[in-house]
Amino acid sequence: MYILAFETSCDDTSVAVMQDDVCVALSTRTQLEHDVTGGVVPEVAARSHANAIFPCIDDALAEADITINQIDLIACTDRPGLAPSLLTGLVVADTLALSTGKPILKIDHIESHIFANFLERTESDIIFPAVVLTVSGGHTELYLWKSIFDLEMIGQTHDDAAGECFDKVAKMMGLGFPGWKKIADLAARYTGSFQWIFPLVLLEKDSLDFSFSGLKSAVKRYIDVQIATPEWLTEEKMMQIAFEFEQIVTDILSKKIQRAVEHKWAHMMILAGGVSANSTLKNKIQKISETIQIPFLSPKRPIYSMDNAAMVGIRAYYQYQKNI
Ligand code: KG4
Ligand code: ZN
């Protein structure tokens, strides 16, 4: 079967064609216009989705070498996300479903990030129960994935999401958009050793929740002190701040996934969401995996970590197959 899938929950317009569980075409346009405002403006994002979505459909169908009439199922993200962005995808998907008479499935964004781990894998690659850490610009949550459609939230952030924290720290440092990339690039260039400048916030001993606002404030205070003495804020210092910050955030995330897997006696650790593309984070969890002998999976490609329509398509495929 062919599935035409849409993802427009934030600032990426993405359309995929799936042939069963295989992504045969993926067309994604990332909105660069938010560079000017240093953050996503919902109205600007919606207008940009409206302009990009039809070219993305054309590209995806051309790449898959099929016509719209060959599509058997339509899938679209319907929650959570920026309402004006979501609406653009929903209106287009609903209209297509209505005019072609094809069925449509509305998909949860977080569930689709989690299902991105099925792309280029088979169902038996996931060992249940698994602990899933979903980390994106809007979410930092831990789930116990008990069986394919049974997810229980076991931890969440009390304030900022980890990805949002990357983006806000980049903004404080005047690094531009997308902030996470500038931070990761600066951190990768730093050759000094880790000094533990910022706090490792793990909350209570058994807590599976997160809090990033204290860390964000500590980084702000540190940067403000450097700015007060401009000659201190050298290129080397910027690299050190990015490195120290990335190390602490990835330490918090990796320690929490380990804590969760041990508390819940889970058989696997899984990463999902935009921050799962971060190689420092993946390397740390991989090391934990080898130490505690619990397998670790993250999306096969960086494009499957970020917002993309293939993850919506594969979530719809499994749902449709199992008749849920
Ligand atoms: O899942 P996603 O594409 O969109 C949301 O649902 O929010 O996540 C995007 C966010 C970016 O804003 C950034 O904060 C974070 O994920 N991100 C990263 C990396 N790639 C994306 N953070 C750190 N390192 C990365 N390599
Ligand atoms: Zn996302």
- CATH number, domain containing residue 263: 3.30.420.40
Residue 202 is predicted with a pLDDT of 97
Contact in structure between 16 and 60 (CB atoms under 8 Å): yes
Regarding the beta carbon of 141 and ligand 1, being less than 6 Å apart is answered no
Radius of gyration, CA atoms only, the chain: 20
The reply to whether 243 and 309 lie within a common domain is no
Look at ligand 1, atom 24, and give the residue with the nearest C-alpha: 278
The reply to whether 69 and 158 lie within a common domain is no
Ligand 1 atom nearest residue 167's Cα: 14
Regarding the beta carbon of 272 and ligand 1, being less than 6 Å apart is answered no
319: pLDDT confidence band, cut at 50, 70 and 90?
A: very high
**92-121, pLDDT tens digit by residue?**
999 999 999 999 999 999 999 999 999 999
Q: Does 57 have pLDDT greater than 70? A: yes
d(CA 229, CA 145): 49
Provide the domain count of the chain: 2
d(CA 226, CA 188): 21
Look at ligand 1, atom 19, and give the residue with the nearest C-alpha: 275
The reply to whether 153 and 90 lie within a common domain is no
State which residues form the domain around 310.
Answer: 2-115+305-321
Centroid of ligand 1 to alpha carbon of 307 (angstroms) = 8
At position 237, the amino acid (one-letter code) is K
The reply to whether 181 and 274 lie within a common domain is yes
d(CA 309, CA 9): 10
The reply to whether 274 and 154 lie within a common domain is yes
The reply to whether 139 and 273 lie within a common domain is yes
With respect to residue 231, please indicate whether it lies within any of the assigned structural domains: yes
With respect to residue 210, please indicate whether it lies within any of the assigned structural domains: yes
**211-250, pLDDT tens digit by residue?**
999 999 999 999 998 888 877 788 999 999 999 999 999 9
The reply to whether 139 and 283 lie within a common domain is yes
Ligand 1 atom nearest residue 273's Cα: 1
The reply to whether 216 and 295 lie within a common domain is yes
For residues 288-316, average pLDDT: 98
Q: Does 42 have pLDDT greater than 90? A: no
Provide the whole-model pTM. Answer: 0.95
Residue 4 is predicted with a pLDDT of 98
The reply to whether 239 and 182 lie within a common domain is yes
